């Protein structure tokens, strides 16, 4: 998997948008970008994934830079339930290699 | 609820012992993955099985082994346990054999404590 770099932590206010960045400058053309999150005391949970185009689903949006060297996970309105560790993975393999992720704190 | 079940939820045992962790994938999923999460190492991929056969191997110790049965449930066997094996063990499943666009669904984990 491509090496990814994420900030260790970020803070957001409830009901405001959150932009979680990820750098993956060594990504290859066929690597998919996956985002998972892990809520406290739970297993990781799939959020979204994409290859080149921006993607939207009911949980979030994924904006992928034109050169694919970075991406941003967008939570449109953060809730307290979104407080979690968010993992960005540049995937070219069967398995997934999780980094340290970004710990998101949501303040009421 | 991801549809992936793991038993037991908690396991406490002593050094040198052997334990078995069990995972049932989501209905229809053919792949099972095992991950270990410890405080100092983060979430690490151990091994993948697809339709009964080993498909990919990660940082799995020789003291650890896994298998996937005909009904697609999987077991992770940990032997000669050491204090450092204390961790959360997660199982995940996916429909396919693990292509780069596959989504993995994780279970709630088994917390192993080795005393």
A51 with B101: Cβ contact below 8 A? yes
B48: which chain A residues are within 8 Å (Cβ-Cβ)?
94-95
Pick the more confident residue, A2 or B85. Answer: B85
A44 with B56: Cβ contact below 8 A? no
- Backbone torsions φ then ψ of B42, nearest 5 degrees: 70, -160
Question: Which residue of chain A is at minimal alpha-carbon distance from B34?
Answer: A95
Question: Taking 90 as the threshold, does the pLDDT of residue A25 lie above it?
Answer: no
Nearest to A97 among B45, B103, B107 (CB): B45
Is the preceding omega at residue B8 within 30 degrees of 0, hence cis?
A: yes
A87: which chain B residues are within 8 Å (Cβ-Cβ)?
43
Question: Which residue of chain A is at minimal alpha-carbon distance from B50?
Answer: A94
Kindly report the nearest CA distance between residue A108 and chain B, in angstroms.
Answer: 26
Which residues have CB under 8 Å from A91's CB, separation 6+?
A: A1, A2, A31, A32, A33, A34, A49, B100
Q: Which of B29, B43, B102, B103 to mutate against chain A (most A CBs within 10 Å)? A: B43
pLDDT per residue over A48-86, tens digit each? 999 998 999 999 999 999 999 999 999 999 999 999 999
Q: Are B50 and B31 within 8 A, CB to CB?
A: yes
CA atoms within 13 A on the CB side of B37: 21
Q: Where residue A1 falls among pLDDT bands split at 50, 70, 90?
A: low
Question: Which residue of chain B is at minimal alpha-carbon distance from A31?
Answer: B100
Closest CA to B10 of B111, B86, B114: B111
Quote the pLDDT of residue B90. 97
Question: Taking 90 as the threshold, does the pLDDT of residue A104 lie above it?
Answer: yes
Question: Which residue of chain B is at minimal alpha-carbon distance from A92?
Answer: B100
A44: which chain B residues are within 8 Å (Cβ-Cβ)?
43, 90, 92, 104, 106
Question: Taking 70 as the threshold, does the pLDDT of residue B5 lie above it?
Answer: yes
């Amino acid at each position: 998997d491509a090496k990814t770099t994420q900030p260790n932590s970020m803070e957001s206010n409830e009901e405001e948008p959150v932009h979680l960045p990820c750098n993956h400058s060594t990504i290859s053309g066929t690597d998919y970008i996956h985002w998972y999150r892990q809520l406290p005391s739970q297993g990781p949970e799939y959020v979204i994934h994409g290859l080149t185009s921006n993607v939207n689903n009911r949980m979030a949006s994924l904006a992928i830079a034109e050169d694919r060297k970075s991406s941003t996970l967008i939570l449109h309105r953060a809730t307290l339930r979104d407080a979690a560790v968010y993992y960005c993975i540049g995937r070219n393999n069967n398995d997934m290699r999780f980094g340290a992720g970004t710990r998101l704190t949501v303040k009421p | 609820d991801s549809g992936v079940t793991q038993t037991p939820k908690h396991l406490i045992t002593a050094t040198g012992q052997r334990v078995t962790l069990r995972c049932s994938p989501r209905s229809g999923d053919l792949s099972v993955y095992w991950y270990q999460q410890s405080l100092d190492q983060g979430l690490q991929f151990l091994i993948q099985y697809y339709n009964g056969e080993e498909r990919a191997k990660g940082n799995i110790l020789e003291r650890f082994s896994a298998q996937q049965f005909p009904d697609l449930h999987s077991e992770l066997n940990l032997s000669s346990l050491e204090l450092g094996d204390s961790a959360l063990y997660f199982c995940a499943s996916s429909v396919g054999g693990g292509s780069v666009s596959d989504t993995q669904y994780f279970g709630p984990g088994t917390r192993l404590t080795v005393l």
